[in-house]
Structure 1
Amino acid sequence: MLAIIAAAVACGIIGVGTGYFYRMKIAEGKIGKAEVEAERIISTARQNAESRKKELVLEGKEEVHKLRSDAERENKERRNELQRMERRLLQKEEHLDKKSDSMEKRDEALQRKEEEITRTQEKIELLHSQQMEELERISSLTYDEAKELLLNNVKTEVKHETAMLIKSLEEQAKEEAEGKAREIISTAIQRCAADHVAETTVSVVALPNDEMKGRIIGREGRNIRAIETLTGVDLIIDDTPEAVILSCFDPIRREVARIALEKLIADGRIHPARIEEMVEKARKEVNQKIREAGEQATYETGVHGLHPELVKILGRLRYRTSYGQNVLRHSIEVSQLAGVMAAELGVDENLAKRAGLIHDIGKALDHEMEGTHVSIGTEVAKKYGESKLVVNCIASHHGDEEPKSVEAVLVSAADAVSAARPGARRETLENYLKRLTKLEEIAESFDGVEDCFAIQAGREIRVMVKPEKLDEADCVLLVHNIVKRIEAELEYPGQIKVVVIRETRMIDYAK
């Protein structure tokens, strides 16, 4: 049994050894093949590296050759460019040298000419002095006398030519300006036709019968005293049949009294307590009408954004008149006229309409505040946040300030157009006569005027001059100077035509 195990172990050992040697043999064969393959790969790599090295060397040589060629070409081009620049500089130097020589020659020529001119001037001065002496000897006049005579002649000629030029330019300017102004203003007037109602400082209240007068007066005059005390209006009860006259400078008070009296007459109960109640109702009614009138004016003119207090003050102008012209209707018309003219001229239409509507706002308060309606209106506009341009339009529409915008000039023109419209205003006889007298005094103040007459209700003045003192050129200057004086010293609606008449009459008698 042991023998068998030993034999098996021996066989196993032999088998293992045989296998080991076999595997060793196989591994040695593979290693040999691998070494051969490695040698082959190394050999191939060496060959490839050698060929690549040669290629790189060749490429490097070619690159070096190319760089050298480029560098040589660039250097050559630079040398050529430098040579061209050198030639150009040489040419410029030669040109400058030639110019310098030419300038030197020119300076020499100019110097010679200056010397010749100096010599010529000396000769001219000598000849001039000789001629002057000869002229003085021939004319028997000294230099100063001849100069004065010549200046007088030139002055006369220049005066005549100036007069003719002024006349020509004035005619041309008037034709162009009148045409354009007539077109703009006529367009504005055609598009804005406002009604004018003449009002006075009294109101008449109709009575159903004359017995009502006694009831208005009341026992011992208590009713009439109550009405006058509460309204501030004078009641005039005279022999006028079925009528009572209310007199007051304040149109709002007069309107309150009129409404209250009409309500009392319609009611029939007239006593102090009822009078006080009706006056209060009338006052509220008038205030409501004032507010509605202001709102209607802003709506009619398209002016929005006014302060509510300004709208109320504007509405008070409904009961204010100027020379018989209703101031609220006048303000609306000025706003519309100024807006139309602004649109025609391409300026701010809204500004012109706004300023035109409130330009006379001060007239609503001139019974309560001191100052002119212009200064009052300016302060009120500032107080309620109007712009500087609107304030300037108000301040300048009667010339108290210089206008700072085209719109201010248009408001002033629209105000004059509205006031001068036929039937718009009513002047007092005293002011009318004063203006005519002043107009004639201005014309008579000029030298050479023989007589003058204001005609056409002060719209034209005819001036007769002395023909022996003034010639035609003097008449042109005279009419121009009269116009300037009238514009500077008189205030008038519309325009005044000045006519200067120069007439020469030769009279003799056949005997």
Structure 2
Amino acid sequence: MIHSQLLTPSLAAVSFPVTLGNTGLAIGMLLLGLVLGGVAAFVILKLVAGNALGAAKREADDLLSKAKAEGETLAKQIELDARNEQAKRRETFEKETDSARNELNEKERRLTKREDNLDKKLDTLTTKEKYLTEMDSDVKKAQAAIDGKLAEAESLVAERQKANAQHQENLKNDLLRIAHLSEEDAKREAMTVLEQQLTHESGELIKQVTERTEHEAKEIAQKITLTAIQRYASEHSAESTSNSVAVEDDAMKGRVIGREGRNIRAFEAATGVDVVVDDTPGVVIVSCFDPVRRAAAAETLRRLLEDGRIHPARIEELSKQVLEEFEKKIVKFGRDACEEAHIHGLHPKISEMMGKLHYRTSYGQNILRHSHEVAYLCQVIADELGLDGELARRCGFLHDIGKAMDHEIEGGHPKIGADFCRKYGENEAVLNAIAGHHNDIPSTTPYTPIVMAADAISGARTGARRESLEKYVKRLQDLEQIARDQSGVREAFAIQAGREVRVVVDPEGVHDEACHAIARNIAKRVSEEMTFPGEIKVTVLREMRTIEYAR
């Protein structure tokens, strides 16, 4: 009703001017159009504003969805990175834990070994204490016997002196009565006779005492030596480096040889050994008199077979790598040997040189094991004699160190070893034991004859040495040395059990024609200076390599 009332006057007002004429009608229509236009504009603006607001809302929703999606993606990426980092940290932690566990296991092993050594030493000390008790009892009995003998000797001397006095008086009276000598002349004559008698009797007495003393000393020395031998038990034959390599498939032997033999020639040139590939199934033989070189070559061949890549470049690369590993093994062998022998304070160079003895033999006996035996025997003998057992053990451990370098330095191994240890500050007792254990120089301390005795005990026990092997190795070393003495020779290798020597010459300094002269000179010297069965083949190799890199 309110709207009707409001609209009625308006219509009346509008209709009123119509009656007034066309001008009023036009004004009314204009006003009506303005009103309707305003309403329409308002409606349109409202619609436009609604559409804009809706679009803004949709855009905001899209942005919000995208932001949520990106946030979820970023969260997943962060979670993934966190998991990766956690995995890396877990792996690092496990490696550190494994390393610490291995270290603890190694320490536990060493402690167990040390505990076993302490138990052995305790048993040794118990045995020694029992032995000393027995020795003390024997010494007391011997002292009592000596005291009895001394009393008896004094009694005999007194009786003899009394008898001599009586005899002298009788002689004096007889001389005075028979010879009608003066008292002074008779006294001088009697003194001469008495002096001769006493000299003869004292000589007899000294001879008896000396023989008895020598016999007792010999028995004591034999007892000490036997005790030392019995208290040290070691294997009779030393371990030897294996010279055969197992081949799972005989078809691999062809790859070892290579096309036209290039692989086997490259292997022999790089390692200095002789490779024997025969009809024996599943085995390739590596032959060389030098145990270090043979062991390194066998390990190189074993790795080549496992890897499967067998060609000259790979052979050279792997042989160098294995040689570096063997140098590290030598250092470890030296440290372990010093620890096992309880030798402390050695210079690292001396310890490394002792490690090289692991691959050296003397008459088939491993020198490093021989050094351990001599060290232990020296300590036992020194302890029995009341000397410094630790110093004696050090002398015995180092006595053959010169054998680790006697093939590189001219001279005997006692002098070489003493000069080397003097360079690194070893004391004079040790140096004299090293230089004099073959009686090359006079002994200045009691430890040198102890080392000589222990060295003889270790080498003389049953199965310890084989003389033929030592002579064989010496012959091969002499053969290589004769070849190396020729001018222009870079390296020489004795192979085929000494039936062939392969000589590598410097291609820059030796031409092809000179190779024939080198081979002839080597063969002539070998024939004149060496004794050998059958014949020895001399092969001279001259190889020129040119390497360039394309970049």
User: If the length of structure 1 is used for normalisation, what is the TM-score?
Assistant: 0.50
Residue 275 of structure 2 contacts residue 285 of structure 2 at CA under 8 Å; is this kept in 1?
Answer: yes
Partner SS state of residue 428, structure 1: helix
- Render the CA deviation track for 1:145-188: whole Å, top value 9, x for unaligned: xxxxxxxxxxxxx9xx99x998x779745642343223322332
What is the CA–CA distance in structure 2 between the aligned matches of 1:329 and 1:227, rounded to whole Å?
31
What is the CA–CA distance in structure 1 between the aligned matches of 2:240 and 2:430, rounded to whole Å?
31
- Select 1:120's aligned residue among 181, 200, 204: 181
Unaligned 5+ residue runs, structure 1?
1-115, 129-157, 432-511
- Select 2:221's aligned residue among 181, 184, 195: 181
Q: CA deviation at 1:362?
A: 0.9
In the alignment, what sits opposite 1:62?
none
Residue 362 of structure 2 contacts residue 470 of structure 2 at CA under 8 Å; is this kept in 1?
Answer: no
In the alignment, what sits opposite 1:419?
459
What is the CA–CA distance in structure 2 between the aligned matches of 1:284 and 1:218, rounded to whole Å?
26
- Select 1:306's aligned residue among 346, 350, 375: 346
Q: CA deviation at 1:409?
A: 1.0
Partner SS state of residue 241, structure 1: coil
Partner SS state of residue 341, structure 1: helix
Residue 202 of structure 1 contacts residue 248 of structure 1 at CA under 8 Å; is this kept in 2?
Answer: no
- Select 1:408's aligned residue among 448, 451, 454: 448
Q: CA deviation at 1:197?
A: 3.2
What is the CA–CA distance in structure 2 between the aligned matches of 1:296 and 1:303, rounded to whole Å?
10
What is the CA–CA distance in structure 1 between the aligned matches of 2:340 and 2:245, rounded to whole Å?
31
- For 1:177, the aligned partner's letter is A
Q: Assess, with a 3 A threshold, how the Cα gap between structure 1 residues 286 and 369 changes in structure 2: closer, same or farther.
A: same
Unaligned 5+ residue runs, structure 2?
1-175, 190-199, 472-551
Structure 1 position 344 matched with structure 2 position 384: yes
Structure 1 position 334 matched with structure 2 position 395: no
In the alignment, what sits opposite 1:147?
none
What is the CA–CA distance in structure 2 between the aligned matches of 1:181 and 1:357, rounded to whole Å?
22
Residue 201 of structure 1 contacts residue 247 of structure 1 at CA under 8 Å; is this kept in 2?
Answer: no
Residue 201 of structure 1 contacts residue 249 of structure 1 at CA under 8 Å; is this kept in 2?
Answer: no
User: Within 5 Å, which residues of 2 pair with 1:69-468?
Assistant: 120-121=181-182, 172=212, 175-198=215-238, 203-428=243-468
What is the CA–CA distance in structure 2 between the aligned matches of 1:377 and 1:213, rounded to whole Å?
43
What is the CA–CA distance in structure 2 between the aligned matches of 1:242 and 1:371, rounded to whole Å?
44
- Worse-superposed segment, 247-256 or 319-328: 247-256
- Render the CA deviation track for 1:258-288: whole Å, top value 9, x for unaligned: 1111111122221112212221221122112
- Render the CA deviation track for 1:300-348: whole Å, top value 9, x for unaligned: 1111111101101100000001111000000011011101111111112
- Render the CA deviation track for 1:191-241: whole Å, top value 9, x for unaligned: 322224346698222222332222111112221122112212222233433
Residue 199 of structure 1 contacts residue 321 of structure 1 at CA under 8 Å; is this kept in 2?
Answer: no
Q: Point out the structure with max Rg over C-alpha.
A: 1
Partner SS state of residue 246, structure 1: strand
- Runs of 4+ off more than 4 Å: 116-119, 121-125, 168-175, 198-202
Partner SS state of residue 245, structure 2: strand
Partner SS state of residue 386, structure 1: coil
In the alignment, what sits opposite 2:155?
none
- For 1:265, the aligned partner's letter is L
Partner SS state of residue 400, structure 1: coil
What is the CA–CA distance in structure 1 between the aligned matches of 2:330 and 2:470, rounded to whole Å?
33
Q: Which has the higher contact order (CA 8 A, sep 6+)?
A: 1
What is the CA–CA distance in structure 1 between the aligned matches of 2:260 and 2:469, rounded to whole Å?
41
Residue 359 of structure 2 contacts residue 366 of structure 2 at CA under 8 Å; is this kept in 1?
Answer: yes
In the alignment, what sits opposite 1:48?
none
What is the CA–CA distance in structure 1 between the aligned matches of 2:304 and 2:230, rounded to whole Å?
44
Q: Assess, with a 3 A threshold, how the Cα gap between structure 1 residues 183 and 122 changes in structure 2: closer, same or farther.
A: closer
Q: Assess, with a 3 A threshold, how the Cα gap between structure 1 residues 224 and 172 changes in structure 2: closer, same or farther.
A: farther
Residue 268 of structure 2 contacts residue 275 of structure 2 at CA under 8 Å; is this kept in 1?
Answer: yes
Aligned-pair identity in percent equals 51
User: Within 5 Å, which residues of 2 pair with 1:13-24?
Assistant: none
User: If the length of structure 2 is used for normalisation, what is the TM-score?
Assistant: 0.47
Residue 195 of structure 1 contacts residue 329 of structure 1 at CA under 8 Å; is this kept in 2?
Answer: no
- Worse-superposed segment, 230-239 or 334-343: 230-239
Partner SS state of residue 195, structure 1: coil
Q: Give the alignment's Cα RMSD to 1 decimal.
A: 3.3
Number of corresponding residues: 282
Q: Assess, with a 3 A threshold, how the Cα gap between structure 1 residues 183 and 272 changes in structure 2: closer, same or farther.
A: same
Q: Assess, with a 3 A threshold, how the Cα gap between structure 1 residues 194 and 170 changes in structure 2: closer, same or farther.
A: farther
Q: CA deviation at 1:413?
A: 0.6
What is the CA–CA distance in structure 2 between the aligned matches of 1:188 and 1:310, rounded to whole Å?
27
Residue 238 of structure 2 contacts residue 369 of structure 2 at CA under 8 Å; is this kept in 1?
Answer: no
Residue 291 of structure 1 contacts residue 312 of structure 1 at CA under 8 Å; is this kept in 2?
Answer: yes
Residue 202 of structure 1 contacts residue 247 of structure 1 at CA under 8 Å; is this kept in 2?
Answer: no
Residue 339 of structure 1 contacts residue 350 of structure 1 at CA under 8 Å; is this kept in 2?
Answer: yes
- Worse-superposed segment, 342-351 or 300-309: 342-351
- For 2:233, the aligned partner's letter is A
- For 2:363, the aligned partner's letter is Y
Q: Assess, with a 3 A threshold, how the Cα gap between structure 1 residues 170 and 319 changes in structure 2: closer, same or farther.
A: farther
Residue 364 of structure 2 contacts residue 470 of structure 2 at CA under 8 Å; is this kept in 1?
Answer: no
What is the CA–CA distance in structure 2 between the aligned matches of 1:384 and 1:425, rounded to whole Å?
31
